[in-house]
Amino acid sequence: MTNPLLAPWTAEFGLPPFAAIRDADFGPAFEVALSEARAAIAGIADQAAAPTYANTIAALELAEGALDRVSGVFYNLAGADSTEAREALMRELAPKMSAFASEITNNKRLFARIEALWAARDGLGLEPEEMRVLTLYRRMFVRSGAELEGAAAARLTEVKARLAVLGTQFGQNLLADERAWFMQLAEEDLEGLPDFVVDAARAAGRERGQNGPVLTLSRSLIVPFLQFSPRRDLRRVAYEAWVARGANGGETDNRAVAAEILALREERAKLLGYPSFAAFKLEPEMAKTPEAVRDLLMRVWAPAKRKAAADAGALEGMLRADGIAGPLEPWDWRYYSEKRRMAEHDLDEAALKPYLGLEAMLGAMFGCASRLFGLEFREIAGPFYHPDVRGWEVTRAGRHVAVFLGDYFARASKRSGAWCSAMRSQRKLGGEQRPIVVNVCNFAKGEPALLSWDDARTLFHEFGHALHQMLSDVTHGFISGTSVARDFVELPSQLYEHWLEVPAVLEKYARHWQTGAPMPVDMRTRLLTAGTYDQGFATVEFVASALVDLAFHEGAAPADPMAMQDEVLEGLGMPRAIRMRHATPHFAHVFSGDGYSAGYYSYMWSEVMDADAFAAFEEAGDPFHPEVAARLERHILSAGGSEEAEVLYTRFRGRMPGVEALLKGRGLLEVA
């Protein structure tokens, strides 16, 4: 029987044959795809013909076609709909895929061809995009150890393989902890909770096979529980379980895993001649150096901490008014902050959510993209990889642009958080290839599904990433879509969040799910006025995480990461009632792979730009100004990694921004 992953994909838009794929198909498909890729790359490296751009770089771009297809399906499913078989294969594949990558970058004959092209680059008559791709290929090979010889090269290969194994183990340990823990709730434990939280708890109980409501570690359930439950004892149990993920002892404990990862990263950097892993990692990013990252974070830390301290005083006063001696604890903050928000802004999330139904917010998300970029969205039928997944064909002026898949509901088989990925990326080399883009979120399932304001922002955020993929218009897949500097990749996503706050968008789309009535004007005004509410808390928990990440990677690797985490937080004077957003044992951004290692700061680096970028529309007097939107698409959304990020942003905006826009956007300028 033909493996469906390797047979031609004949479904509309070239979608994978989801219904035909079985877990048992993936292992054999990877073996065949890896074998084909190895043969193709050997053919490039060993050919007798002198190196040209076409027979070396362009050929490398197309050498892994089957592997790209199989990987695109498998890794999306492994994160969004895990099974025991998929988890086992991930563990098996981690060293194999790392070894394959090392084989390529350690291939001396292949690197010699790239070096020959690099030496002759000025006389090759390359187009600007080709010159950029050649530059990035050479940089990738050098940073992967292509210039190393002998024992150093062999050791780097071992280090990278072990890091791949550990990153997979870290993520699977975290998922196991999240999947295993739940707390049964008696009917009296539901007192004081809004209907949407109760409904989500009952739905979670059904999913877990329990006869009654349960609380899980899904953010979309535990955060509103912490906001609304008057039961301080239950809030404490839930909060401590939430922050203990990855640190519960036994086989799923991530503390030793994190320590080994940090030691190996330091060794990797030293083998490549860098003083620290942070110096190595940041070299190709916009920030360039650890010092630049620390400067940004500390400029934000001081005003954020002052704001958080003032807020903590107000919340502790409310705690004492309830007859509790104090002090204010982390499991108290969200509860009293929600009560304070209600008192100061008359903004009740339970009253707000009926106007933020998932269907309505999808309409807003698509509607803004239509007005800005002329995109149209037509829902298409599955089957996709899970019954919860929905699909849309994206077109513009009658031309197919992309397929967009939305996977929005929390389930035990899905890792926590929200993300955007591509099962297939855009490129033109070798024939036009349009992307298949996936947004994954973890909203609470309900009838209907109602979102919090934070959920709605997450929806828009991930779709900003999706637009970066869908509107990509480059020749080479190597630089398409989100293949940009890590501290630039969050710009399109964070920028797109701004359109959710446009009053006209809320007026049109934020409608009561039962009556269809628009959100009352006074509620909308209070919502937008409260936009900077509790930003001291949000900023402190983020910056603390980013500074711990930086500390882990800018010097000698700590033997005890938890001790270093505590030392950094103590040095910062971390407020007692606020914890890091991601403590080390569940800091998946940093330890499940290299993506955000020494790079968690990048959300804030991008925020400096996103506030300034949206100001371009405000200065033009129209949040949908066609000329500004066209400039945004041309220089950022369609450009991928075709030039350095600073060049792309400056072409869009005319200059680089300062940190003041970020402080203003977070309501921290007055305390700076």
Would you please indicate which residues are annotated as catalytic (active-site) residues?
A: 462
Tokens of 619: 């200065």
Give residues with Cβ within 8 angstroms of 512, minimum separation 6.
354, 355, 518, 519
User: How many helices and strands (H and E) does the chain possess?
Assistant: 27, 7
C-beta of residue 585 within 8 angstroms of C-beta of residue 247: yes
State how beta strands 214-216 and 390-396 pair. unpaired
For residue 545, which amino acid is it?
S
Neighbours of 51 (CB within 10 A): 19
The residue among 459, 416, 423 whose CA lies nearest residue 438 is 423
d(CA 595, CA 485): 10
- Sequence-ordered strand ranges (E) for 185-314: 214-216
Structure tokens given for 570: 């103590």
Q: In DSSP terms, which residues pair with 443 in a beta bridge?
A: 409
Instruction: State the Cα–Cα distance between residues 170 and 224, nearest whole angstrom.
Output: 27
Helix axes 330-345, 232-243, angle to 10 degrees: 120
DSSP-based three-state secondary structure for 666: coil
Residues 558/560/561/566 CA torsion (nearest 10 deg): -110
CA nearest 73: which of 20, 110, 121?
A: 20
DSSP 8-state symbol, 51? P
Separation in Å, CA 64 to CA 61, 115, 129: 7, 21, 21
Specify the 3-state DSSP secondary structure of 159: helix
Question: What Å distances lie between residue 480 and 433, 635, 647, CA to CA?
Answer: 11, 13, 16
Closest to 541 (Cα-Cα) out of 571, 578, 576: 578
Query: If you ran DSSP here, which 8-state letter would residue 48 be given?
Result: S
**Angle, in degrees to the nearest 10, between helices 84-105 and 150-180:** 160
CB-neighbour burial class of residue 522 (10 A; exposed 0-12, middle 13-18, buried 19+): exposed
Give me the residue label for tokens 């139904």.
Answer: 357
Cα torsion angle, 589, 408, 230, 240, sign = negative
User: How many Cβ atoms sit within 10 Å of the Cβ of residue 360?
Assistant: 24
Question: SS3 for 518-560, per residue?
Answer: ECCHHHHHHHHHHHHCCHHHHHHHHHHHHHHHHHHHCCCCCCC
Residue given tokens 């001291």 in the structure block: 536
Radius of gyration for the chain, computed over Cα atoms and rounded to the nearest angstrom: 25
DSSP string, 299-314: HHHHHHHHHHHHHHHH
Q: How far apart are the first and last CA of the chain?
A: 66
The three-state DSSP-derived secondary structure of 95-124 is HHHHHHHHHHHCCHHHHHHHHHHHHCHHHC
CA–CA separation, 548 and 301 (whole Å) = 13
d(CA 439, CA 461): 10
For 128, list phi and psi in degrees, rounded to 5: -55, -40
